[in-house]
Amino acid sequence: MTEFLTHPLPALAQALYQRQISARDLVEEAIANHERCDALTNAYLLWTSSRARKGAAAADAAFAAGAIAGPLQGIPISIKDLFAAEGLPTFAGSDRRLPPEWEVDGPVVAALRRQLGVIMGKTHMVEFAFGGTGQNCHWGAPRNPWDKTAHRSPGGSSSGAGVSLMEGSALLALGSDTAGSVRIPAAMTGTVGLKLTLGRWSAAGVVPLSPTFDTPGLLTRTVEDAAFGFGSIDAMVGDPFHYLSRISTLEIAGVRIGMGDPFLWSDCDPGIAEGAKAAVDALAAKGALVRERALPEARAAYDVFLEGGFSAIELRSFLDQELPQWLPELDPIMAPAVKNAETLTAREYLARLQRVRSLSRTAQERFADVEVFVSPTVCATPALISEVRDTGGHLRVNRRLVHNTVGVNYLGLCAITLPVALDRAGMPVGLQFIAPPGNEERLIAVALAAEHALGTGRQRLGAPPLLAL
């Protein structure tokens, strides 16, 4: 990775505005990074370097004319293959191209286009986002760059998103999160993942898994980049430079943090809970007010997931109505759950929905005297891909991956993960900050204060061994 793409996203945006660098500079560096790493990482289903060069030229022409389309003008961005985008096919991780209506920009992609952000390509994903392991029998799985000797899971379902950031082919990655699909790959690749409150950003133009919980989200290299990316896309925030300058003044001292829920800190592989706790202890040493608090609704929400949750039946409904010919060709590891979802009665589906809505109301009351809860983001060391290529292995691993993430979705909360340590296998450990619904601005401010206190992922973890060539 060369000079430009090692800098923070806000600094690069400023340098572009001031014409100290060009969008072509950034895009050519991103292309070179991808060409160097692609044989190792396999981050993209669709790599569009020619279109990216044209996008960079358009951004530079606008800069030359004194026209500023938005803060992401000229910035290299990857998008998950679940997002419809004009001129680009959508497969949603399946083995065939979806109909033309899935090649029209949705609101989030349109926000990037309006700003002349440069789309580098579409990243790999689990088929129809149904799972957190990253395995895909049609296209293969991207490789987690933190293990140079074995092919480990990069997390999913946004499996190529974090890898695209690590290889330096994108500065911002669009993903989606229904049960952890932004936070799991972010935690497992040593990046930052932001899960928004349901409805904060429209999911129109995003192939649905479970519309009851689907949320677009972001993966970035740092919390500073996430704050800038969020502010650039979110209409309620407005100017991302002003937003970032305002939240950068928050110190971690005095921030009220809830920690210690027995469920969220249990069943962790060696080094994960220890690494996350050491990070929280470091925040406490800098003045954070860490309080022993439980969030029992997280366990209750996970129990609903174990009963079958919502994704299988809602995906089955979408496929039955829109893509019935896809059913016989589903990835064998997910096909049984989707095909058997037809046995779920409307009565049981509605009962589950009522349970999680009730849990959501009581969960919000737990924030009365804390601003955020913290936990390890993922309790399991990334599995070998060979361990998740069959239904049994995938199911066993996937249940552990969503252990600490699915509750955030089912309870209607928002969350962010940032890299804080390496576990005993040398794989990244994410620390998850959880906040009440609609509190993204405060959530990101707290996470940014934590990053200032702890250091960025690159500062704490170093470079991924596979890419440290």
Q: Tokens for 222?
A: 């740092």
Torsional sign, CA 67, 72, 76, 81: negative
Contact yes or no for 197/179 (Cβ under 8 A): no
CB 261 within 8 A of CB 370: no
**Catalytic option among 22, 78, 80, 153:** 80
- Tracing tokens 């790999």 back to the chain, one arrives at 124
Q: Regarding beta strands 192-195 and 215-220, do their DSSP bridges make them parallel or antiparallel, or are they unpaired?
A: antiparallel
Beta bridge partners of 177: 215
What is the rounded distance in angstroms from the CA atom of residue 114 to the CA atom of residue 164? Answer: 22
DSSP β-bridge partners for residue 417: 193, 432
| Catalytic, out of 78, 94, 153, 157 | 157
Output b/e per residue, 261-272; b: 16+ Cβ within 10 A.
Answer: bebbbeebbebb
Residue 461 and residue 188 in contact, taking contact as beta carbons nearer than 8 Å:
no
Q: Catalytic: 181?
A: yes
Is 157 among the residues known to form the active site? yes
Q: What angle do CA 36, 191, 211 make, to 5 degrees?
A: 110
CB atoms within 10 A of CB 113: 17
176 as an active site residue: the answer is no
CA atoms of 198 and 410, how far apart (whole Å): 10
* DSSP one-letter code for 152: B
Q: Strand 76-80 and strand 118-123: pairing?
A: parallel
Provide the 3-class DSSP secondary structure of residue 118: strand
Pairwise CA distance, residues 156 & 180, whole Å = 8
Q: What would the two tokens of residue 363 be?
A: 């969960």
Q: Which residues are annotated as catalytic?
A: 80, 157, 181
